[in-house]
């Protein structure tokens, strides 16, 4: 936990302790969730490579895994989610170092799910960097992807106006504490 600083206001101190702890807990859970999903994708990809007819074999693996994992663990392991895990691994192959379990995960799983919608890897990297550096909520990131914020910034001669518009349109998202964990 971050360094605690006592003030003269006990209520304010305790609220700060609670909110700091909550943010750290959300961050830890999101990091572990992203690592889990990356490793699931990693393992599925390794199995696909060993298969003879890769496309059909991979689809059958995911179908079978989905059924068995859903039976054992409940919802959250449908085919769509398993394909997201596989794409996550393929689009962000260096995000987890499996040899030493080091993680370079900077965003939540929901952020990465939104980033997977961006086909161009350079554009996706830009959105990832901006989301991290500007502490964009998931809804802000999703809105910026949908509104093609990257291309609008790139084409604009007045980048500050485009940025100001984005900040105004996403201010409600950014102020929602449940949306941000960073």
C-alpha distances in Å from residue 128, one per residue of 118, 122, 137, 165, 171: 10, 10, 12, 20, 19
Whether 57 shows a pLDDT value over 70: the answer reads: no
> Which pLDDT tens digit goes with each residue over 93-134?
988 876 666 668 889 999 999 999 999 999 999 999 999 998
Contact 1, 21 (CB under 8 A): yes
Nearby residues of 152 by Cβ (< 8 Å), 6 or more positions away:
162
- R_g of the chain computed on alpha carbons: 20
Q: Which of 35, 40, 44, 2 is nearest to 19 (CA)?
A: 2
Which of 123, 149, 121, 151 lies closest to 136, judged by CA?
149
**Prediction pTM value:** 0.78
Q: Which of 82, 97, 131, 126 is nearest to 111 (CA)?
A: 131
Distance between CA 107 and CA 130 in Å, rounded? Answer: 11
């Amino acid at each position: 936990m971050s360094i605690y600083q006592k003030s003269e206001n006990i209520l304010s101190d305790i609220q700060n302790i609670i909110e700091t702890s909550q943010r750290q807990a959300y961050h830890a859970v999101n990091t572990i969730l992203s690592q889990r999903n990356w490793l699931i994708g990693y393992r599925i990809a390794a199995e696909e490579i060993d298969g003879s007819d890769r496309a059909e074999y991979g689809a059958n693996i995911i179908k079978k895994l989905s059924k068995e994992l859903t039976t054992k663990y409940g919802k959250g392991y449908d085919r769509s989610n398993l394909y997201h895990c596989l794409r996550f691994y393929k689009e962000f192959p260096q995000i987890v170092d499996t040899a030493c379990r080091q993680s370079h995960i900077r965003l939540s799983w929901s952020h990465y799910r939104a980033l997977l919608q961006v086909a161009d890897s350079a554009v996706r990297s830009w959105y990832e960097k901006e989301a991290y550096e500007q502490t964009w909520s998931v809804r802000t990131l999703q809105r910026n992807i949908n509104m093609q914020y990257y291309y609008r910034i790139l084409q604009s001669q007045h980048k500050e106006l485009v940025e100001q518009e984005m900040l105004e349109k996403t201010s409600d998202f950014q102020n929602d504490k449940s949306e941000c964990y960073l």
